[in-house]
Structure 1
Amino acid sequence: METSQKLSKIESEPYSDRPLISVVTCFLNVEEFLEESIKSVIAQKYKNWELLLVDDGSTDKSTEIAKSFSSQYPNILYHEHKGHLNHGLSESRILALEHAKGEIISFLDGDDIWTPDFLLEAVKEKQENSVPVYCEATKYWFSWKFPDREDAVSQVGTEGNRTYSPPELIYRLYPLATGSSPAICSILVDKYTLEKHGGFNAAFKGMYEDQVLLTKLYLNENIYISTVCNNIYRQRHDSLVYTARSRGTYLKDRKFFLDWFEEYVQSIKNTDKKLKKMLNHALFPFRYPKVYYLKEVFPGKVQRKLKKLFR
């Protein structure tokens, strides 16, 4: 059966024959983008979904926008933390999962969007390959702000259109390897799988929330990587990554994550020697900064100065 025929078959099936998907959208002061994000979910060809809008203490019109959609659509549900307080992205996702009724969970942050085919094609690929986790390529969206800058489709940093067994992806992708990790808006994961591995970690409040989840999945589950791209990741200069780098907190955040990673590996009694070697390599600059400087940083500086002298 051709792909278009398969999609048409799924699209025409009654809701009861398709799994309910809980779409988790956490947001904080994104009044400029939230409506577009919500409308991209409403426009999905796959119709058996619920959208959980979790307000992480917004002080702009985001709250009003979310409540307006929730009042109009019975499958769009508004949630917030007690007292309308800000608790961070991880706790907001944890709150959403407590209320999620879907068999499958997906994530769409309040400034990103999906094409109408995202859920339909992702469910098809996930079901055909009988995996608990599906990921795909992501379009990095620059042109929304800079019309002259070309958008770029980023494939997950390994061979696509195949299933990976644990812990293959940990050897290939960030945060320990150099391959691009999947964006959170490109993922479908069974709710049971999230619950089994503990999902998100409330200790992460600004960076590495996604990597905590992905690390658990890489180490424990079969994952299908697709080259399809139906999700669009808006690039902003005030995003968490850009902010961490500009404030100089990125390395501190990375060390916090790597320390957690080491503890997690020990907690699941993983004794993989290659993983241990990669993790030790990643931790080396933080554990032995002077040695790292002398071995890795200083020689490079000397080499660059010599090149300038003998030009």
Structure 2
Amino acid sequence: MDTRPLVSCIIIFLDAERFLREAIDSILAQTYDTWELLLVDDGSSDGSTAIAREVASKHPDRIRYLEHPDHVNRGMSASRNLGARASRGDYLAFLDADDVWVPEKLTEQVPLLEAHPRAAMLYGRSLIWYSWTENPDVSADHVYDLGVEPDRLIEPPRLVFLMLENRVQTPTTCNALIRRQVYEEVGGFQEAFRGMFEDQAFFIKLCLSHPVYVADACWAWYRQHEESCCAVAERSGVSRALRLPLLDWADGYFASEGIRDPWLRLALLRELVPYRYPWIAQLRKGPRHWIRGARKRMRVAFNRLTHPRSPEEPPTRGAE
């Protein structure tokens, strides 16, 4: 009898003592039962290591603790890959330590992915979760537009365009369910990426070559807090600049894989222009600036012609 878990759940964490138990509890609360959980420690120095070891010791039949050699920090992509290599399930489901799943996530996702055998992955919406605090403001919680008509299979490379534009919700690690075979085919996560957008390189690789099912369902709550990578980048004013490594990587990957779709190349170039050629971006602003200046001068001239002032009248501020 095959007793392997069908779904391998992987939580990566780094100094996540504040939220880790809640993330683990959201997996323990799943209404679907055929899963294993791998807790991957990316070099924590707080109490999260002890929490993960404790939980694993209480559930040795289905929860395991992993770490990099010498307890070093290797980054999110390397930690996800470590968990995937050690896992045994046919499907992979990732969760960051500060996010949570809704109890029905796997119960609804597994049959849906099995009903669409061509789909390499499926994902739905993530709740942008502000109301987790002691003084919850539920009105701040929201979801983003998916950018495609949901509840259907999306053929490649449609989703890649949306990821390059970064204007709608595209796949996120916390709400996706991925076939292990496809994960291995595309080479897993890009370990050279550290920080923001590290997961998007993996999703670009997958969505370039495989259909993906996009569902109109919310299966994960994406916690908003001041310690997250996104919040830190926003406060430091570098969030936009952090997209450049991803775009540069995509440019090289398209070339190495022989991606010649002209519309895809154009979409990538449009995103790269402000970074590589900022003078072109300035030129784009130029005509609008010149037109506004010309209109102002025309208004001044018209006012002078229609409202001539007497020789003793001092000039108005806008007329000179």
TM-score normalised over the length of structure 2: 0.85
2:70 and 2:30 mapped to 1: Cα distance? 33
Q: Could you tell me which residue of structure 2 aligns to residue 256 of structure 1?
A: 245
Instruction: State the AA in 1 paired with 2:190.
Output: N
Q: Could you tell me which residue of structure 2 aligns to residue 80 of structure 1?
A: 67
Alpha-carbon shift at residue 118 of structure 1 (Å): 0.3
| Other structure's SS at 1:201 match | coil
- CA 1:219 to 1:64, structure 2 compared with 1: closer, same or farther past 3 Å? same
1:249 and 1:87 mapped to 2: Cα distance? 22
Are 1:113 and 2:117 matched, yes or no? no
Q: Could you tell me which residue of structure 2 aligns to residue 64 of structure 1?
A: 50
Alpha-carbon shift at residue 245 of structure 1 (Å): 2.5
Instruction: State the AA in 2 paired with 1:133.
Output: M
Q: Could you tell me which residue of structure 2 aligns to residue 216 of structure 1?
A: 205
Q: Could you tell me which residue of structure 2 aligns to residue 160 of structure 1?
A: 150
Instruction: State the AA in 2 paired with 1:136.
Output: G
- CA 1:182 to 1:217, structure 2 compared with 1: closer, same or farther past 3 Å? same
1:68 and 1:298 mapped to 2: Cα distance? 63
Indicate conservation of the 8 Å contact 2:5/2:36, yes or no.
no
Q: Could you tell me which residue of structure 2 aligns to residue 38 of structure 1?
A: 24
1:225 and 1:187 mapped to 2: Cα distance? 10
- CA 1:68 to 1:246, structure 2 compared with 1: closer, same or farther past 3 Å? same
1:94 and 1:109 mapped to 2: Cα distance? 14
2:49 and 2:159 mapped to 1: Cα distance? 38
Q: How large is the RMSD of aligned CA atoms in angstroms? A: 2.4
Q: Could you tell me which residue of structure 2 aligns to residue 132 of structure 1?
A: 120
Q: Could you tell me which residue of structure 2 aligns to residue 103 of structure 1?
A: 90
| Matching residue within 259, 273, 280 for 2:269 | 280
1:208 and 1:22 mapped to 2: Cα distance? 23
Are 1:144 and 2:132 matched, yes or no? yes
Alpha-carbon shift at residue 91 of structure 1 (Å): 1.1
2:112 and 2:200 mapped to 1: Cα distance? 23
Alpha-carbon shift at residue 125 of structure 1 (Å): 1.1
Indicate conservation of the 8 Å contact 1:27/1:56, yes or no.
yes
Cα deviations across residues 106-139 of structure 1 (Å, max 9, x unaligned)?
A: 1111111111100010011111122221111111
Point out the more displaced range, 236-245 or 37-46: 236-245
| Matching residue within 247, 252, 257 for 1:268 | 257
| Other structure's SS at 2:164 match | coil
Cα deviations across residues 182-225 of structure 1 (Å, max 9, x unaligned)?
A: 32211001111011011111111111111111111221111000
Instruction: State the AA in 1 paired with 2:110.
Output: V
Q: What is the percentage of aligned positions where both structures have the same residue?
A: 37
Are 1:49 and 2:35 matched, yes or no? yes
Alpha-carbon shift at residue 23 of structure 1 (Å): 0.7
Alpha-carbon shift at residue 300 of structure 1 (Å): 6.4
| Other structure's SS at 2:93 match | strand
1:208 and 1:298 mapped to 2: Cα distance? 33
Aligned residues: 293
* Consecutive aligned runs of 4 or more in structure 1 exceeding 4 Å deviation: 15-19, 300-304
Indicate conservation of the 8 Å contact 1:156/1:182, yes or no.
no
Alpha-carbon shift at residue 176 of structure 1 (Å): 2.6
Alpha-carbon shift at residue 266 of structure 1 (Å): 1.2
| Other structure's SS at 1:135 match | strand
Alpha-carbon shift at residue 301 of structure 1 (Å): 11
TM-score normalised over the length of structure 1: 0.87
| Unaligned segments of structure 1, at least 5 residues | 1-14
Alpha-carbon shift at residue 177 of structure 1 (Å): 5.4
Indicate conservation of the 8 Å contact 2:125/2:169, yes or no.
no
Larger radius of gyration: 2
| Other structure's SS at 2:182 match | helix
Point out the more displaced range, 238-247 or 195-204: 238-247
Are 1:236 and 2:222 matched, yes or no? no
Q: Could you tell me which residue of structure 2 aligns to residue 7 of structure 1?
A: none
Are 1:93 and 2:80 matched, yes or no? yes
| Other structure's SS at 1:229 match | strand
Alpha-carbon shift at residue 297 of structure 1 (Å): 7.4
Alpha-carbon shift at residue 174 of structure 1 (Å): 2.8
1:289 and 1:153 mapped to 2: Cα distance? 32
